[in-house]
Structure formats: structure tokens, C-alpha cells
Amino acid sequence: MRQYRIWLAAISAMVLQIAQAGDLFVDDKPAEGINTRTALEASHTIGGYPIFQPGGLWRFSSSNVWISQPSREGGTPVPLGEVVFVLTEGVTWVGELRVRANLQPGNTSYWNSDPCGGSHLVVNKKSSGRDDNCLTLDYLETSKLLQLVVSHSSRGGRYYKVTFVLNPVMLGARDTKPEDWRSTSIEVTPSRAALVKRLTQWGIQLQDATRDVFDTKKPDALNAMPSFRTVINAPQEFVQQKVSTNFLSVLADVQDNKVGFRAVAYSPLEDYKTTWGFAADRKSKEEAEKDALAFCEKNRKSEAPPCTVALSLAP
């Protein structure tokens, strides 16, 4: 009996390992063994398409399959799968990643869709003929979140869509209202304009990389993609660190609301343990940076590295 239990446990572990390390859909159904403890891994695929690793510990939330009916007579139905992963830091919701793809090919010529249609904060259309290749960026007023969508489709029922929904607070945009994300408001707010620009540039990189994935199903196309954290308005060592939203708020406030020569200095220690100081309305760059460094050093922990300048702006 004991040998049977060991054998059964080994088989169960093998099934779980296969599910966690391979395609998230098997026989047009969600793979078994995937649950909320499952973290997104580089080996995960959907319908054979690799999935981008955004940076951080993204955990499985849900998956679904539905059948898309053909758009023309004689076309075959195409099964579509969608998997959702969520990133949290402590009790803070950071973002959601949704990936949708065809699980099987079909003989339908093209998808009847226009992912670049409608009104968007940002649109980058690289579609050719009836092949979709589109990036959109929007602010979702109801949930107060940013949504970046990359869509690809082509003949034979091929379809691949990546949706990032991100908490703008965790990207450095604090205490914003829906009207703050209208084009006219973004243009006159330096920190939000810079964030939208960085997020758009990052999104275009993702658009190009996922197009290669869509065409080849090879994961190498995603190797050069940086973490989504590179769009954060902070020094780049914070890309792999959980940064205090208070520090991000100071950086945005100095950019948007302070006058004269102004600067922010900081000393990173570990997750959430950043010391900073800022100075504004100074008569020279040197004076602003000197005072910001002095304020930072005054509060720096002895085990933390010396303060350095994170931001320095002229009037």
C-alpha cells in the first residue's frame, strides 16, 4: 500500500509539474494543477504562444475557454483561451496580466475586428491589410486604472492579445482624478506626461516583441523586453525593488508643483526603505542639489548607502 501511495504521489507531482511548466491549456481546456499558488514562469505558454514575463511574482487568477464562431460560411469554429495573472505587493494591488490566444487554427480567413478603433489615450497602429497589429493605452475611469492592450490577428484563425491593467499609483501617479488623464491635462503635467511617454515607448517594444512571438511562437523575441517597472518615475535600481509610493509621490510633486531650481536626493536600502530629501525654489542647480543631499543625509540610516541625486530640474 505504501508503494502505491508513493507511486500515486509521484504521478500527481509529475502532472502538476507538467501543468505548471508547459502550456496552460490542454485539449482546448484549462490545464489541471493550475491554481492561485501557481506563479507565471518563462516556460508557460498559451496555445503554444510564449507569455511575456513582466517582472515580479505574478500569480494565476483565472482561465477560460470559449468558441469563436466563424465569420464566413464554411469556416470552422476557433477555440480561444484566456489566462489571467495578478501582481500584488503586500495588500496593494499592482496589476493584472491577461493573455488571450487561439488554441487551435481555423480556416476562417480573418478576424472581424478593429482593435485600434474608437477613442483612446494613445494608439499605435501597425496593421497591414486585414492583419491586426495594434497598441492602445487608456485610462479606465470606473476602476481608476491604466490599461495597455496589444492585439495581433491574422488568417487561419490566429489570434494573440496581451492586456496589462496597471495601478497608476504604483507607477508614480498619486491622487489623480479621471479628468487628470485627459490629453489637455496630461500635456501640462510633467510627471504624467513623462509616464504616458515611457509607458507608450515600453508598449511599442512589447507590440514589436509580441508580433515576433505571434509570427514564430519562439520565446527568444521576448528576451530583450524590460520589466514593466522601467516605466516608473524613479531611478532604475528600483526596477527590481518594491519602492515606497511616498518617494514616487515626492518625485512627481517636485516635477509638477515646485518652482525654481529643484532637486530630490535618495538613499535606497531595501524594499520600502528609501530615505530621501528634496529642495525647491533655489537660485542654482548646485544649491538645490546640495540642500537635497543634506536633507537626505540627515535622515539616512547608517547601514544605507550615501545619498545621491535622483532628480534635478531647472525653472
Mean pLDDT of the chain: 87
Nearest CA among 273, 267, 221 for reference residue 246: 273
Higher pLDDT, 135 or 221: 135
Exposed / middle / buried, residue 239 (Cβ in 10 Å: 0-12, 13-18, 19+) = middle
Q: What is the pLDDT of residues 156-199, one digit of tens each?
A: 889 999 999 999 988 888 778 889 999 899 998 999 999 999 99
Please list, in sequence order, all residues whose beta carbon lies within 8 angstroms of the beta carbon of residue 5, skipping any fewer than 6 positions away. Answer: none
Q: Which helix (H) or strand (E) holds 158?
A: strand 158-166
Q: Is the pLDDT of residue 60 over 80?
A: yes
Residues 209 and 240 in one domain: no
Q: Is 220 exposed, middle or buried (0-12, 13-18, 19+ CB in 10 A)?
A: exposed
Q: Are residues 115 and 102 in the same domain?
A: yes
Name the more confident of 248 and 4: 248
Integer Cα distance of 68 and 80 in angstroms: 7
- Identify the domain boundary among 231, 251, 270: 231
Residue 132 has pLDDT above 80, yes or no: yes
pLDDT at 111: 79
Report pLDDT for 244: 74
pLDDT over 80 at 233, yes or no:
no
Same domain, yes or no, for 223 and 240? no
Reported confidence tier of residue 206, pLDDT bands at 50, 70, 90:
very high
Over residues 121-150, mean pLDDT: 94
Same domain for 226 and 270? no
Mean pLDDT for the stretch of residues 213-222: 90
The arithmetic mean of pLDDT across residues 4-10, rounded, is 40
Q: Is residue 57 within 8 Å of 68, Cβ to Cβ?
A: no
Domain extent, residue 307, equals 236-313
Given a cut of 80, is residue 307 above it in pLDDT? Answer: yes
Q: Are residues 224 and 244 in the same domain?
A: no
Whole-model pTM: value is: 0.85
Count of domains observed in the chain: 2
Instruction: Report the range out of 34-38, 57-61, 229-233 with the highest average pLDDT.
Output: 57-61
Asked if the model's pLDDT at residue 13 lies above 60, the reply is no
Residue 112 CA from chain centroid, whole number: 27
Q: What is the pLDDT of residues 150-167, one digit of tens each?
A: 999 998 889 999 999 999
Pair (29, 161) in one structural domain: yes
**Does 269 lie in the same domain as 222?**
no
